[in-house]
Each structure stands twice: as C-alpha cells, then as structure tokens.
Amino acid sequence: MNITWKALALTGLIPLALAGCGGGGGSSDSSSTAQTGTLKVSMTDAPSCGFDHVYVTVSQVRVNASANAGDNDAGWSTITLATPQKIDLLSLTNGALADLGQTALPAGQYQQVRLVLVSNTGNTLSNSVVPTGGTEQPLATPSATQSGYKIITPFTVQPNTLVDLILDFNACKSIVQKGNGGYQMKPVVTATPTVVSGSISGYVAQAEAGATVYAEQNGKVVKGTVADGTGKFVLSPLVQSSTQGNYDVVIVENNFASGIVRSVPVVVNADTPVSTSGAPITLPASPMGSVSGNVTSSAQAFVRALQVIGGSPYEIAAINANGDTGNYALSLPTGAPFAGTYSNALPIALTAASTVAGQYTIEADAASGAVQSANVNAATNPTGVNFAF
C-alpha cells in the first residue's frame, strides 16, 4: 500500500479534511528559517494477500531531519487531520491517492517519517481487516497509536518548492495472522519522492481482471496493484531506471498461468506501457496447486514462492507465516509461466517457460534476516515444506 506525501496538486485524489496549528496546514516545533518549502501528504495502496478490505485511521503525520530522533526530541514537524480519517487502503489501487494534508518545512534534508494512527476503542474499530469472504476483524497496531510507525528515508525540501513523497505501505507483508485468528500489523513501508519517479501501465485480458500485478527487481516486489474491471493496471510511483535499474512486471491470477515482462524501463514523470486495451496481455488457463508447511513461529517469517527463468528469480506469491503457530499455505499456478522482454514496439511476445512448469523455490525470510529455501513441485501439493530457524 502506498502513503503519498504530495506537494503538487494531483488529480484523482481523495480529499481529507485537514486542520493545522500553524501556517501551511500543519504545525511545527522546528526552528524557523527564512527559506522554507512545503510537504504535502497523501496515501495510496497495493494488493493485500487474502483481504477484501484493510482499514487504518490516520490522525497525524510527523517528519524529522534526524533518522535517530525520538518521540519527544526537537525538530518534529506535524500534519494533524482535523478529524481522523478511516481509509480503506485496498480501495487506493492503480495510482489512486488519498490526500492527508501539507505543512511548511525549513529547507533541507529530512530522514524520518512517522505515521500516527488512532487506536481501537471498545467496539469502535479504527483499524481493521476484512478477510476475503469474511467479516470485519480488529487489527492490532502496536506503537502506531503512540509514537507512530517509523519510516527512514532521505528526501530534500528545496526553498520555495513543493515536495511529493509517496509512502508505500505493503499490506501483504505488513499483516500477520495470529494463532487465535486475530490480526496484527507489522508495518513494511517504503517511500519514493515523485521528483525521481514514473510509472508502468498496461492491460490484461478482460477474463483476467482482478489479477495482481507486481513491479519487481531481482525477484523482490517493489510495487503492486490490481487490474481493474477493464483489465487496466498502473504501477506508480516507481523510481526512475537510471537510479534503480529496470523492472520486471509479473502478473498473477488464480487459474491462469503467470505472465512476466522483463526489463521494463521507467522514466521520470512519464508512463511506460507494456500492453494496450486493444492488445492486452492474455494468459492461458492453468491448474492450481498448493504448498504448505510450518516455520519456527519465533522466526516471524515471510514466505515467498519464486520461479527461476533463465537464472533470474520472480516472486509469484508470498504470505506471512502465522505469528503464533508458524503455519503457512500458498496457492500457485502449476502451468508454465509465459515470459518476454520489454520492447516499445507493442505487443510484447510472451512464450511459455515449459521447463519450470510447477517448479518453485519456497523461501522463508525470518525477521532476523536469516533465509532458508526449498525446491518443490506445486503440482504435487506438498504439505510438509517446513523451515526451522
């Protein structure tokens, strides 16, 4: 999911009521300076594993020039919403943004961002999830309602300019199910200044509307979205290729083969299309298999399913292991993935990588940084793919 700090007026934003305790729509305890810029904040989202809705209620956003600043240290600038806003993060796909406000800041470099949420009180669910096909459940948000979730990222505010900073809140990695059936947030958030970013867009066939689409680098998801009812998808923001390198676009949908477009470039303030509505990416049907097992619960691991084509890994699915039991289960296409390399001459030809049909590397990434993996054939529905940390 993405949380966007925007300093330029954007179209398609979801406006939120804001109030400030000082000029620029916010309050600041930073020392004043003759040279200031403006930071504006918005929120956007990426797909979430197994949920119809993910709600968070935002009360404040805080920024500081020091990556090590504590809650009560000097130098904090704050954007305070007049009324805390409950936002369905999963409604903010394909570049949609929810505006959280703006504040004036002394010119200079900033390192730390804090997102402060409202706590759940009694039967009032400020933060919650709706599992697919289920009912709304409370989402525990330790520390977010007091000190706020911390994001360490450098960005620069130039004198007399407006700055856009997009915070990408990855719900798939951030929500952990507990053994009692409850849910807890362990935030995984990144930030991208829009001054160095662009986008990738395209269409999948109408039958594949609702597919999850990822922008990946070296087998790791950088950004994700969901193809809308017309099959259109937009991956934004993405840091320009000259800074981060090109991206691989990975398309995943139940009962269809996965699709991969390799080496897609991103240019600042521009969009790179990989397909069009007239010639969408069309993937064949595929049977589904399952892989399940257990990870040492204390490892607090994120489990990924990767396919390797031509020596390069691509993440097809991922999930947090249960925070109490360590159990996990992944549903995966067993048909051959279809892959091709980007060309600005559309359509891009995708061909079946038949040698890796059903073949996956299951990787468990522990919170400690330790990594373990096992090779499996998803078509055999293996059930004991366990990892002990």
Average pLDDT over residues 76-95: 85
Q: What is the pLDDT of residue 48?
A: 67
Tell me how far apart the alpha carbons of residues 43 and 32 are, in angstroms, rounded to a whole number: 28
Average pLDDT over residues 147-169: 85
| More confidently predicted of 250 and 143 | 250
Tell me how far apart the alpha carbons of residues 181 and 198 are, in angstroms, rounded to a whole number: 39
Tell me how far apart the alpha carbons of residues 21 and 28 are, in angstroms, rounded to a whole number: 8
Q: What is the pLDDT of residue 34?
A: 56
Average pLDDT over residues 214-241: 93
Average pLDDT, the chain: 87
**Beta partners for 272?**
200
pLDDT band at 148 (very low <50, low <70, confident <90, very high): confident
Q: What is the pLDDT of residue 26?
A: 46
290 and 364 Cβ atoms separated by less than 8 Å: no
pLDDT at 33 over 60: no
The CA distances from residue 308 to 29, 136, 200, 342, in Å, are: 51, 37, 23, 18
Tell me how far apart the alpha carbons of residues 323 and 373 are, in angstroms, rounded to a whole number: 19
Please give the model's pTM, rounded to 2 decimal places: 0.81
Average pLDDT over residues 108-123: 91
Alpha-helical (H) ranges within the chain are: 171-174, 241-244
pLDDT at 30 over 50: no
Q: Which of 388, 365, 271 is nearest to 315 (CA)?
A: 365
Q: Which of 38, 9, 5, 11 is nearest to 167 (CA)?
A: 5
SS3 (DSSP) at 210 = coil
Tell me how far apart the alpha carbons of residues 159 and 260 are, in angstroms, rounded to a whole number: 42
Q: What is the pLDDT of residue 29?
A: 44
pLDDT at 17 over 70: no
> What are the pLDDT digits (tens) for 160-174?
888 888 877 777 788
Most confident of 112-121, 193-202, 336-345: 336-345
Q: What is the pLDDT of residue 16?
A: 31
Q: Residue 347: is the preceding peptide bond cis (ω within 30°)? A: yes
Average pLDDT over residues 299-319: 96
Per-residue DSSP letters for 105-168? Answer: EESEEEEEEEEEEPPPBTTB-SSEEEETTS--EEEE-TTTTTT-EEEEEEEEE-TT-EEEEEEE
Q: What is the pLDDT of residue 368?
A: 94
Q: What is the pLDDT of residue 350?
A: 98
SS3 (DSSP) at 191 = strand
Q: Which helix (H) or strand (E) holds 83?
A: strand 77-88
Domains of the chain: 2-187 (no CATH), 197-273 (2.60.40.10), 288-335+354-380 (2.60.40)
The single-letter DSSP state of residue 278 is S
What is the dihedral angle through the alpha carbons of 192, 219, 170, 203, rounded to the nearest 10 degrees?
80
Tell me how far apart the alpha carbons of residues 170 and 228 are, in angstroms, rounded to a whole number: 19
> What are the pLDDT digits (tens) for 338-385?
999 999 999 999 999 999 999 999 999 999 999 999 999 999 999 999
Q: What are phi and psi of 95, to 5 degrees?
A: 85, 0
338 and 251 Cβ atoms separated by less than 8 Å: no
Tell me how far apart the alpha carbons of residues 261 and 250 are, in angstroms, rounded to a whole number: 7
Average pLDDT over residues 291-306: 95
Q: What is the pLDDT of residue 219?
A: 97
pLDDT band at 79 (very low <50, low <70, confident <90, very high): confident
pLDDT at 15 over 50: no
pLDDT at 93 over 90: no
